[in-house]
Structure 1
Amino acid sequence: MSLDPTTVVTLLGIVGLAAVGIGGRRRKQDGIGEWTVAKRGFGAFTTWFLQAGEAFTTFSFLGLAGIAFGGGVAACFALCYLSINLILQYFTMPRMRELGVQGGYLTQADFFTDRFRSPLLGKVVAVVGAVFLLPYLQLQITGLGLIVELATGSAAGGRLSMVLATVLTVGFVLWSGIRGIARVAYLKDFLMVIGLIVLAVGVLASLDGGLGGLFTTIREERPALLGFDQEGYDTAWFISAVVISGIGGGLGTMAHLWPPVLAAGSGRALRKNAIWLPLYQLALMIPVIVGFAGVLGLAPDSPGNAVALTLAGQTLPGWLVGLVAVAAASAAMVPSAAIIVGISSLVSRNVLGVRGDRAQLRVTHAVAIAAAGLALLLGLARPDLLSNLLLLTYGGLTQLAPAIVMGLARRVRLSAAAALSGVLTGVAVLTWLTFGGVDAGTVDPGLPALLANIAATAAVEAVRRRRHRPALPPEPALAGPPTAATRS
C-alpha cells in the first residue's frame, strides 16, 4: 500500500478518531452502569450526536449511492423510513427513558424482563438482539474496509484497515464506554456533513449542467430510474423495506439504540432531537444524487457500493478523497462502537446473568472483544452487499416490535408467553424465508415474518385469556309454585 496523500490522510484520520474516543473517559469504571449509560445525565446536545452518530452509518455513504445507481429513486426508501423512525421516537423514546430510570435498565432486555416479569423472555430477547446485531456490526467493518480500498486503490490496504479500525474501536470502547462514543460522535457528524458536501461539489462540478442537467439527462436516457421498475427494487420492495425499517428504528427494536436513550437527562431532550434530527436527511440526499451521477459516469456493471468513492477519486484531489474517506470511516466506527456496547452488555447482563459490578464489567469487555473479532472474521471471509445486511438486521429485530408496544403501555396486558411466542414465530419465519430458498419475490422477508409474529401473539394471548376467564357465579334456582309449607 503506497503512502500517497489519500492513504496518509485516511490512516491518520482513523487513528485520530480512536484517540478522540480514548480521551472520553472521565472516571474509573467500577461497573457496567457507568460504561453503558454514564450517569443518565446527558443533555440534548450530547444525546443529539449520540443518536445521529448511531443512526447514520456506512450505509449512508456507500449503500444509498449503490441503490440509487442500480435502483434509482428506490434509494429514497431511507428518507421515508427515517421520517417514520423519528415520528415514532418522539413518543416512544421518552417513555423508554422514564421506565429505564424507574427500573434501573441498562439494556433493552432489562425492559422485557421487568415489564413482562419474565427473565426467560429477557434472555430470549437478548439472544435475538445480539444475533441480529452481529450482521450490522459486520456491515460497518466491511464498509470501512471497502472505503479504504476504494480510496487508496489497495485491496490489501482495505483488509488491513478493517483490522486496524476494529482494534482501535474496541480499544476506545473498552476504555471509555459511552462517553468515548459520544466524543467521537461529535467529530463524526461534523466530518460526515463536510465530507458529503465536498463529495457533492466535486461530482456536480464535473457534470454538464450541474444538478439540473443530471436529472434532465436521466429523464431522457434512463427514465426507468425515476420509477419503481428496476429489477429487485420495485414497489413491493420499497414499501416493505420502508415499513420494516421504519417500525424497527422507531419502536426501539435495535438494542444498541437504547443506551443513548437511557443515558439522556430528560425526556424533553429526546423529544427535541426527534424534532430536529430530520435535518440530517438533507445530507442523505447527497449519496442518492451521487448514485444517479454514477449512472452517467461509470460502467453499468460497476459495483454499486463503490460508486461514491470511485466518483470521488475521479473528481477530487487525493487529499480531499482522503477527507471523504475519513468521514466515511467515522460513519463506520461510531456505530460499530455502539453495536459492540449493545451486544456485549446484552450477553453479559441478560444472557449469562453475571453478578457483581466488577465481574459483569470484565465479562462485558471480554464479550466485546469476541463480538468484534467474530464480525471482523465474517467481514474478511464473507463480505456481502451492505443493503442486504442492513435489511436482515432490521427484519430480525423488528420481530420485537409488538411486544415493545405492549410493554410501553401504562399497564402491560400481554402475557410473557404470548410475547415470547410471537418473537420466536417471527424469527423462525424470517430465517426460513431468508435461508430456506423460499422465493418471496422482492418483499422484505421481515414483513411476512412480522405478520406471522402478530398472528401468533394474538392466538396465544386469546387462548390464555379464555383459560383464565373467571367462572360466572351460578344462577339462582327458579322459584316454583308456593307449597303448603311456604304458605304457612
Structure 2
Amino acid sequence: MSTTMVITTAGIVLVALVGLSGRRPPSRELGEWTVGNRRFSTATTWFLQAGESFTTFSFLGLAGMAFSAGVAACFALCYLAINLVLQYFTAPRMRQLGLRGGYVTQADFFVDRYRSPLLGRVVAVVGAVFLLPYLQLQITGLGLIVQLATGSSAGGRLSMVLATVLTVGFVLWSGIRGIARVAYLKDALMIFGLVALLIGVAVTVHGGIGGLFATVRDTHPQLLTLNQEGYDATFFFTAVLISGIGGGLGTMAHLWPPVLAARSGRALRSNAIWLPLYQIALGIPVIIGFAGVLLVRKGTAPNGVALTLAGQTLPGWLVGVIAVAAASAAMVPSAAILVGISSMLSRNLVAIRSPRTQLRVNHLCVVVAAGLALALGLARPGLLSNLLLLTYGGLTQLAPAIAMGLARTVRLHAAAALAGILAGVAVLVWLTFGGVDVGTVDTGLIALVVNIAVTTVAEIAVRLRRPAATPVAPAPSTPAPVSS
C-alpha cells in the first residue's frame, strides 16, 4: 500500500473520530440531535454554514469546469456571493420563526406558516428526492479523489464505502454537534490543501500565476470568454440566477439546521458579511483548472485535473494530505445532507409523535439515504456539475413559497403554493429527462417561471372562490424581535 493511500485512509478515519467526539449526553429527541440547544456560537455557525462553500464540487468540479469551459467556472463564485447577500436578510428571519415555532426542519416552516401538514409532506418528499443527487455527488467525488490520489480504482470504491459508513456512524452518534466539530477540521484542511496545491502550480508554471494566464491568453483565448459550447453567457447567467435564488432563500433542507441552531440573528448576519472571504479560496480551484490546460496531458478527465496536478507537482505524502482535505469536504456536506433528509422524512412525512420512536425512524432514514446514495454512486456516477445543477433546479421550486412565508403575514394560500411547487417540479423533470432541447438555459429557471405563473393563477382562483378569505398564516399579534 502506497504512502498516499495510507495517509488518505488514516485521514478519513481521523475525520470520523473527530465527529464521534462531538457527542454530548445521548440525544433523546430529534430536536437536540438536529439543532442542538439553539445556542451555537458565531464561530460554530460560521463553520457549519461554510460547509456549503467547501464541498467536493468546490475541489473537483470547479477545477474541472475551468479546465474544460474556462471562466464559466466562475459562476460558482458569483452565485455564492448572491447567496450570502440574500442570507443576510433571510437567515435571521428563519431563525426567528424557528425559535418561535420550534422548527427542527425546513418542512416545519411550511407546516407552520401555511397551516398545512400536506404541504409539509410534499416539501419533505421534494427535499429528499432532490438532495439525493447532491449526496451522491459528495460520495462519488470522494471515490474519485482517492482513486486519483492513489491510482487505484478499487481503492476509490472501497474508500467510498468506508467514508460513507464512518459518516453515517458519526452522524447517528453525534448529530449536528459532530458535524460542527468536523467542520472546523475540514475547513483548515481544505485551505491548507488548496494553498499547497496553488504553490505547487505556481512553482511549476513558467512565470508563476501571472505567466499562467498570459500563456492561456495566447494559446487558449477562448477559455477567457463565455463562448464555450454548452457554457456560454446564457448558461452562466441562468445558472448563477437559479443557484443564487436557491441558496439565498434556503431551499436546500440541510441549510436550515445551522440557521436554526444559531445563538442569535446577529451571528447569522455577521457570518453573511464575512463568509465571502471564502470566495478567495474558491478562486484557487479555478486557477488550478487553467493550469491543467497547460500541464496535464490531453484526454485527462476534467474532474481529475486537480489531483492529477497534485501528483505531478507535490510529494506523495502531501498528495495524501490534500486527498484527506478533499475527502473531508465530501464527508461534512454528506453528513449535513443526511441530517436534512432524515429529519424531514421522520418528522414531517411519517409524522411520528413519540420523540423516541421519531428519533429511531430518523436514524433508519439516515442509513437508507446513505445506502441509496452510495449504491447510485457506485453504479451510476454522474458529472458533478450536472448533479449540482439538478439539485439546485429542483429545490429552487420551493423559493416562491419560502419568500412569501418569510413575510410578517402570509398572504399566499397553501393550495396555490402547492400547485406552483408541483408544476415547477413536473416541468423540471420533463425538461431534464424528456430530451427537450432548451439550449443552455438552466432548466430550473424555466421551471421556476412556470411555478410562479401557476402559483399566481392558483392564488387568484382561490381568492375568487373565497372573496372574504383571510391570510393563511397570520403572524402572532406580538412577534418576537429578531435577535441582535
With normalisation by structure 2, the TM-score equals: 0.96
Post-superposition shift, 1:137? 0.3
Q: Measure, in 2, the Cα distance between the counterparts of 1:118 and 1:282.
A: 42
Quick one: distance in 2 between partners of 1:297 and 1:43?
Answer: 44
CA distance in structure 1 between the aligned counterparts of 2:54 and 2:245, rounded to whole angstroms: 17
Percent identity between the two aligned chains: 73
The one-character-per-residue Cα deviations of 1:286-327 (angstroms, maximum 9, x if unpaired) are 000000001111233221100000000000000000011011
Partners of 1:302 and 1:195 in 2: CA distance:
21
Q: Distance in 2 between matches of 1:300 and 1:347?
A: 45
The CA distance in 1 between the partners of 2:463 and 2:24, in whole Å, is 51
| Aligned counterpart, 2:34 | 36
Distance 1:353 1:16 in 2: 36
| Aligned equivalent of 1:79 | 77
Tell me the CA shift for residue 15 of structure 1. Answer: 0.2
Aligned residue in 1 for 2:356? 358
Partners of 1:32 and 1:165 in 2: CA distance:
24
Report the counterpart of residue 480 of structure 1 in structure 2.
none
Aligned to 1:485: none
Partner-residue secondary structure (3-state), 1:368: helix
Partner SS for 1:55: coil
- The answer on whether the counterparts of 2:134 and 2:387 sit within 8 Å (CA) in structure 1 is yes
- Which whole-Å CA distance do the structure 2 matches of 1:154 and 1:440 have between them? 39
Equivalent residue, structure 1, for 2:475: none
Q: Tell me, yes or no, if the aligned pair for 1:172 and 1:180 is still in contact at 8 Å.
A: yes
Out of 365, 370, 373, the residue aligned to residue 372 of structure 1 is 370
Instruction: Return the index of the structure with the highest Cα Rg.
Output: 1
Give the counterpart of 1:256 among 240, 254, 277: 254
Q: In the alignment, which residue of structure 1 is the partner of 2:273?
A: 275
Q: Which residue of 2 aligns with 1:293?
A: 291
Alpha-carbon separation, structure 1, partners of 2:225 and 2:297: 21
Q: Matched residues in 1 for 2:53 and 2:427: separation? A: 27
For residues 41-52 of structure 1, the aligned pairs below 5 Å read 41-52=39-50
Distance 1:463 1:128 in 2: 25
Q: Which residue does the alignment assign to 1:324?
A: 322
1:448 to 406, 422, 446: 446
User: Post-superposition shift, 1:437?
Assistant: 0.7
Equivalence for 1:130: 128
Which of residues 362, 375, 381 in structure 2 aligns to 1:383? 381
Which is further off, 295-304 or 347-356?
295-304
Match of 1:201 among 196, 199, 206: 199
Task: Using the TM superposition, give the Cα deviation of residue 37 of structure 1 relative to its aligned residue in structure 2, in angstroms.
Answer: 0.3
The whole-number CA distance in structure 1 between the counterparts of 2:462 and 2:295 is: 61
Cα deviations across residues 208-249 of structure 1 (Å, max 9, x unaligned)? 000111111111111010001111100111011000100010
Alignment counterpart, residue 192 of structure 1, candidates 187, 190, 193:
190
Other-structure match for 1:482: none
Q: Do structure 1's residue 103 and structure 2's residue 101 form an aligned pair? A: yes
Contact 1:71 1:233 in 2 (8 A): yes
Rounded to whole Å, the distance in 2 between the matches of 1:176 and 1:55 is 23
Matched residue, 1:431:
429
Please tell me whether the aligned partners of residues 134 and 388 of structure 2 are also in contact (alpha carbons under 8 angstroms).
Answer: yes
For 1:354 and 1:434, locate their aligned partners in 2 and report how far apart those are by CA, in whole Å. 34
> Of residues 109, 113, 116 in structure 2, which corresponds to 1:115?
113
Q: Which residue is equivalent to 2:178?
A: 180
State the distance in 1 between where 2:2 and 2:211 align.
34
Q: CA RMSD of the aligned region, Å?
A: 0.8
CA distance in 1, matches of 2:299, 2:416: 48
The answer to whether the 8 A contact 2:53-2:278 is kept is no
Amino acid at match of 2:467: R
Structure 2 letter corresponding to 1:264: A
Q: Please state if 1:141 is matched with 2:146.
A: no
Q: Tell whether the 8 Å contact from 1:25 to 1:176 is kept in structure 2 after alignment.
A: yes
Secondary structure of the residue aligned to 1:191 is: helix
Take 1:190 and 1:391, find their aligned partners in 2: how far apart are those partners?
27
- Structure 1 residues 396-405 or 295-304, which shifts more? 295-304
Deviation at 1:447, TM superposition (A): 0.5
Query: Matches of 2:120 and 2:53 in 1, distance apart?
Result: 24
Aligned position for 1:221: 219
Q: Deviations over 1:126-153 (max 9, x none)?
A: 0000000000000000000000000000
Preserved CA contact (<8 Å) 1:38 1:179: yes
Say if 1:55 and 1:335, in contact at 8 Å, map to a contact too.
Answer: no
- Confirm or deny: 8 A CA contact 2:54 2:190 kept in the other structure: no
Residue of structure 1 equivalent to 2:159: 161
Shift of 1:197: 0.2
Pairing 1:473-484 to 2, within 5 Å after superposition = none
Q: Which runs of 5+ in 1 are unaligned?
A: 472-488
User: Does the 8 Å contact 1:54/1:334 carry over to 2?
Assistant: no
2:5 alignment counterpart = 7
How many angstroms does 1:203 deviate by?
1.2
**What amino acid is aligned across from residue 185 of structure 1 in structure 2?**
A
Deviation beyond 3 Å, 4+ runs, structure 1: none
Residue 56 of structure 2 contacts residue 327 of structure 2 at CA under 8 Å; is this kept in 1?
A: yes
> Which of the numbers 455, 458, 461 marks the counterpart of 2:456?
458
Letter in structure 1 aligned against 2:85: I
Q: Classify the secondary structure of the residue corresponding to 1:437.
A: coil
Structure 2 unaligned blocks of 5 or more = 470-484
In structure 1, distance between residues paired with 2:165 and 2:257: 22
1:24 aligns to what? 22
SS of residue in 2 equivalent to 1:29: coil
Q: Per-residue deviation at 1:55?
A: 3.5
- Please tell me whether residue 305 in structure 1 is matched to residue 303 in structure 2: yes
Residue 8 of structure 2 contacts residue 146 of structure 2 at CA under 8 Å; is this kept in 1?
yes
The CA distance in 1 between the partners of 2:355 and 2:37, in whole Å, is 15
Paired residues in the alignment total 469
Counterparts of 2:460 and 2:409, CA distance in 1: 18
Aligned partners of 1:413 and 1:296: how far apart in 2?
56
Q: Distance in 2 between matches of 1:299 and 1:401?
A: 43
In structure 1, the partner of 2:405 is 407
Following superposition, the deviation at residue 468 of structure 1 comes to 1.8
Matched to 1:392, the amino acid is L
After TM superposition, give the deviation of residue 470 of structure 1 in Å: 4.5
Q: Answer yes or no: is 1:170 the counterpart of 2:153.
A: no
Q: In 2, Cα distance between the equivalents of 1:329 and 1:183?
A: 16
The answer on whether the counterparts of 2:27 and 2:33 sit within 8 Å (CA) in structure 1 is yes
**Residue of 237, 241, 257 corresponding to 2:239:** 241
